[in-house]
Amino acid sequence: ETGVTQTPRHLVMGMTNKKSLKCEQHLGHNAMYWYKQSAKKPLELMFVYNFKEQTENNSVPSRFSPECPNSSHLFLHLHTLQPEDSALYLCASSQDLLDSWQYFGPGTRLTVT
Amino acid sequence: ELKVEQNPLFLSMQEGKNYTIYCNYSTTSDRLYWYRQDPGKSLESLFVLLSNGAVKQEGRLMASLDTKARLSTLHITAAVHDLSATYFCAVGWSGGSNYKLTFGKGTLLTVNP
């Protein structure tokens, strides 16, 4: 256990559905991250939040919508996804943005049908 | 655009042997990370390297950074089976409020008895 939890662990959704992924960290960290790991591409950093403020959106399509209501929680809202969005979505946190060790959650395995 | 190349992508080695994984990157960066991923599991942070000449060691793994050559190495000493995993390097930079991180494709390491 790293202190970062993600729910659900597995999710199957149709292309017209709306769902949300949740991440929670119990470490008192200030920065949180969403990553995408798909079979055919290198790991991608999707979103970065520092003190609840989004610092970077790495050209992620608008069908992915992040939300960070406080430093402990991070959501990824999903709508009208495509089959190529099927991947492992990893959440991570770190004490601060620049120099820190990142702690990763177990991931959500998403399948879009 | 920052490009990160890891080699080799696949590495099969015997227990007790030494080997090095290389991570080359294409443009100036201010930090480099190494991660480990076991099959079906999440990522685990191994090292964060922040300056030219930085060297960090943990157990049988040692990471180094040469920013002038734009090269990081992960050296494995006297490999044991438990080190079998996929190892990723990632190169990051921060500018103002922006933060970017680009991953290599990963090196699948198999240590055979």
Q: List, for residues B12-58, the tens digit of each pLDDT value.
A: 999 999 999 999 999 888 789 999 999 888 899 999 998 888 999 99
Q: Identify all chain A residues contacting B88, using CB atoms and an 8 Å cutoff.
A: 43
| Residue A45 contacts residue A35 (beta carbons within 8 Å) | yes
CA dist B35 and A94 (Å) reads: 14
CA dist A70 and A50 (Å) reads: 10
List the single range of A25-34, A104-113, B31-40, B91-100 with lowest mean pLDDT: B91-100
Q: Identify all chain B residues contacting A35, using CB atoms and an 8 Å cutoff.
A: 43
Judged by a CB distance cut-off of 8 A, whether residue A57 touches chain B is: no
CA dist B34 and B107 (Å) reads: 11
Note the pLDDT of residue A98.
Answer: 64
Residue B81 DSSP label:
G
**Which residue matches tokens 């443009």?**
B27
List, for residues B53-81, the tens digit of each pLDDT value.
Answer: 899 999 999 999 999 999 999 999 999 99
Judged by a CB distance cut-off of 8 A, whether residue B82 touches chain A is: no
| Residue A63 contacts residue A8 (beta carbons within 8 Å) | no
Between A44, A99, A104, which is nearest B42 by CB? A104
More confident of the two residues A58 and B72: B72
Judged by a CB distance cut-off of 8 A, whether residue B41 touches chain A is: yes
Closest CA to A84 of A48, A44, A27, A33: A44
Contact B104 A42 (CB under 8 A): yes
| Residue B82 contacts residue A22 (beta carbons within 8 Å) | no
Nearest-neighbour CA in chain A from B39: distance (Å): 12
Between B50, B88, B90, which is nearest A99 by CB? B50
The answer to whether residue A35 scores a pLDDT higher than 70 is yes
Note the pLDDT of residue B88.
Answer: 96
Between B43, B44, B100, which is nearest A56 by CB? B100
Q: Identify all chain A residues contacting B41, using CB atoms and an 8 Å cutoff.
A: 106
Q: Identify all chain B residues contacting A50, using CB atoms and an 8 Å cutoff.
A: 99
Judged by a CB distance cut-off of 8 A, whether residue A105 touches chain B is: yes
A55-85 as b/e, with b when 16 or more CB fall inside 10 Å?
A: bbebebeeebebebeebbebbbebeebeeeb
